[in-house]
A = this chain, B = another copy of it.
């Protein structure tokens, strides 16, 4: 089938097709140290309660609440990890530390700040003044108040982040069933493509940007990666590289180049012979010749391998990886919602529309006032909108504009409006030609720009797909304001 014969589909259609051919990988066992970033394949339950005993929340004295304030003998102590405490009878107290078991008989803890050490009594008996009466239960965590024995603390399908590692350790889950991580091979193609270490370049040569970039992208997505090198533009060499990827039992092969209209673009014919091409053209800028195929491998028990034929232009490769490969890798790794996350952002500058294809425009999202370099009209408009909001906040009693109890004063001085006047801005990375990889530099999102004539004006709201952590986004001069009253 000629390249042009492939039906042109949209990116949402392409994403659906890819995910419909993708299955979560089976479960493997990992230890706690290997759990970060993995997705649980089984729920995790608590084998015991936390705290396992009534535990003090403070350093101080375990008391009988009914005794009230006064002077008492200190008949024992309960330190975290030590069990030498005596029962506490009415009229006596025990020293206790944070996290230590509350001795039998005691029903409250008085923090040390509300006590006073007294001179020892007869026979060297320690004594203390309790300055405030306690209510029963005060500063005690009852058994199971954080986690009850048998509770499900984490669900199957949850991703293990930093806090989840702590939760797993708490309940003694040191051996975990998690989804396997996908094995991904990356192959560049092209007779003109040479290793990045090549210098100086020979005539007609360019360095291979895609392979290192896609290996990094797959590794960042949690995959185990295999570098398959660069394939020459011959049927034989390409077939050999494909066979090598199959031999390595990878779940996914990502190629770049060789999918457009040239007579040495051999990827589509190869995939059509060896497997099934599900799409070979996508209505998008950049990335039109994006190709997706599945191979069924009888020599490996009939297992299926996914092949993504990305375009050779590095930006097309970058965008196609994030839009269609990344969700597939996430689904394989067990993510219940593998799709890219979408937010709305305001354009900082005009964007020229493309009348032929919808564009995935690389941008840097940042929170704050209109960023430096924004269209000049924006600052005035934003200031006006903020002023209107101050007015609203002053009169309205509706829940959307209620300032915090302690912050009426701040709100009246405009602090609340400041917080509301800041928002998510989309700053274009500049010239979007698909060979210019600098247009992906610092990009943390791609904007979904409609296919139309004319210009999308600065200040328009557009949808953006997150492709990188916003934890490193640019910070506006002067920072972002805090909650009023904070």
Contact = CB atoms under 8 A, between A and B. Distances in A.
A98 B193 CA distance: 13
Given A59-B262, A312-B98, A419 B213 contact: no
A113 B261 CA distance: 9
B450 A100 contact: no
Chain A interface mostly: loop
A219 interface: yes
Interface string A433-466: 1011110111100011111111111111111001
A163 B318 contact: yes
A65 interface: no
A167 interface: yes
A213 B169 contact: yes
A235 interface: no
A275 to B, nearest CB: 24
Which one of A95, A98, A447, A473 has the greatest number of beta carbons of chain B within 10 Å?
A98
Nearest to A225: B33
Given A146-B437, A147-B438, A459-B400, A193 B264 contact: no
Q: How many copies does the complex hold?
A: 2
A350 to B, nearest CB: 9
A483 B483 CA distance: 30
A381 B402 CA distance: 12
Contact of A483 (B82, B263, B264, B448): B448
A261 B405 contact: no
6 A-B pairs with least C-beta separation = A81-B191, A406-B452, A166-B213, A81-B192, A163-B440, A450-B485
Interface in A3-25: 4
Which one of A57, A146, A407, A437 has the greatest number of beta carbons of chain B within 10 Å?
A437
Interface residues of A, number: 166
A78 to B, nearest CB: 8
Given A165-B213, A192-B100, A407-B452, A204 B483 contact: no
B403 A460 contact: yes
A209 to B, nearest CB: 4
Interface stretch (A67-75, A246-254, A291-299, A335-343): A335-343
B483 A261 contact: no
